[in-house]
Amino acid sequence: MSDRNTPHRDGLLFPVTVAGATEIFGWHIIAANAGGYAVPATTTAAQITLGVSDGWVDNRTGGNGSVYALLRRGRAWQFANHGVDAVTQADVGKDCYVVDSQTVAKTSNADARPVAGKVQAVGSDGVWVLI
């Protein structure tokens, strides 16, 4: 056995293939759909949060995987706090959940919402989420 030059990525900024008929806006939460393609995050339990889009991507006329989106991870991002199911100071360090690509909530709504990330801070202007 010997050393190996293993290809790698840093995992902080990386490309992902985008679902067909999809438009992704910059700095929104992005998830993988059931097929593994990037879509704007929604309250869809089957989605897996991937990160935050690094810019706008238009694949509205393309098929699955026709274009790539650049995603960022490993940072705390500020998102809107869901009014009815609001994240509070007591939730710091806990998971919060995707309502849409700009909003997070305290609960999974009976497992209907995917995990967005870990709550870092809560303020009057939103929730800081580590993705």
Please report the sign of the dihedral spanned by the C-alpha atoms of residue 27, residue 105, residue 97, residue 45.
Answer: negative
Task: Report the predicted TM-score, pTM, of the whole model to 2 decimal places.
Answer: 0.93
Q: Is 5 a member of any domain?
A: no
> For 9-33, how does the pLDDT look when each residue is reduced to its tens digit (9 = 90+)?
888 999 999 999 999 999 999 999 9
**pLDDT for 70-123, tens place per residue?**
999 999 999 999 999 999 999 999 999 999 999 999 999 999 999 999 999 999
Closest among 87, 90, 91 to 105, alpha carbons compared: 87
85 plus 108 within the same structural domain: yes
Residue range(s) defining the domain that contains residue 38: 13-72
Domain count, the chain: 2
- The pLDDT value given to residue 110: 96
Same domain, 23 and 54: yes
99 falls within a domain: yes
Cβ proximity of 115 and 129 under 8 Å: no
Which of 72, 87, 113 finishes a domain? Answer: 72
Residues 58 and 87 in one domain: no
The secondary structure of residue 88, as a DSSP letter, is: -
Domain for residue 118, yes or no? Answer: yes
pLDDT tier at 58 (50, 70, 90 boundaries)? very high
85 and 54 share a domain?
no
